[in-house]
A and B are shown apart, each in its own frame.
Chain A
Amino acid sequence: EAGVTQFPSHSVIEKGQTVTLRCDPISGHDNLYWYRRVMGKEIKFLLHFVKESKQDESGMPNNRFLAERTGGTYSTLKVQPAELEDSGVYFCASSQRHEQYFGPGTRLTVT
């Protein structure tokens, strides 16, 4: 069974540009989560989808971040426009019940 995949693995962009991160969850998992780890700090929750609906987006830092989950399958997280403080590793996870399975993350660097 394929695990959670994320694309790209790395992205380097300039401040003010737009970046879109993609996550493909484990097939059949209704729950999809986005988390972020800023350098040296803990991993923080961003938002939670149940199928195509946003269940909890309390962790989204501001309106420069937009997440979608098309048809309840893959998800995208767009940052527009990117700021320096957005740099970090963005993790996606999926679950059917309580155990969340994580992807390898996308390392985003904003210069």
Chain B
Amino acid sequence: AQKVTQAQTEISVVEKEDVTLDCVYETRDTTYYLFWYKQPPSGELVFLIRRNSFDEQNEISGRYSWNFQKSTSSFNFTITASQVVDSAVYFCALSDVGQGAQKLVFGQGTRLTINP
């Protein structure tokens, strides 16, 4: 069975600090997708990134970066120079690679608070 663990329930940092959100996953599949979503106070889940299991290159998008390590089954998310607007709940998720789209298995979420 697939499982995603986000061990950090809550993180609180001061603005401009760097912060890393951890994500560890379990799957028996050799190919799979990993995702990060952001849930701001407004409630909707905002798609941030999708990563294929066969592509271990790290990705950077502005202040956001993702570190995928298959050897440790981890897909960590780092926010550099955090801002108050980054405050949200962040979810890591996993899905099969099948024909078409597949259901997501989510972690418990990490509530990130950026204090001014």
Contact = CB atoms under 8 A, between A and B. Distances in A.
A98 B101 CA distance: 5
A19 to B, nearest CB: 18
A50 B106 CA distance: 21
A59 interface: yes
B104 A35 contact: yes
A42 B101 contact: no
A33 interface: yes
B50 A98 contact: yes
B66 interface: no
Interface residues of B, number: 23
Interface of B: 4, 33, 35, 37, 42-47, 50, 91, 95, 100-109
Interface centre among A3, A50, A102 (most CB of B within 10 A): A102
Interface residues of A, number: 29
A101 interface: yes
Contact of A103 (B44, B91, B103, B106): B44
Interface string A1-42: 001100000000000000000000000001101010000011
Contacts of A50: 100
A57 B104 CA distance: 13
A42 B108 contact: yes
A100 to B, nearest CB: 6
26 contacts: A3-B44, A4-B44, A31-B101, A33-B103, A41-B108, A42-B107, A42-B108, A42-B109, A43-B45, A43-B104, A43-B109, A44-B106, A45-B104, A45-B105, A48-B102, A56-B103, A91-B45, A96-B101, A97-B101, A98-B50, A99-B47, A100-B47, A100-B101, A101-B47, A102-B44, A104-B43
Nearest to A6: B44
B44 A98 contact: no
A103 B44 CA distance: 6
A105 interface: yes
B42 A104 contact: yes
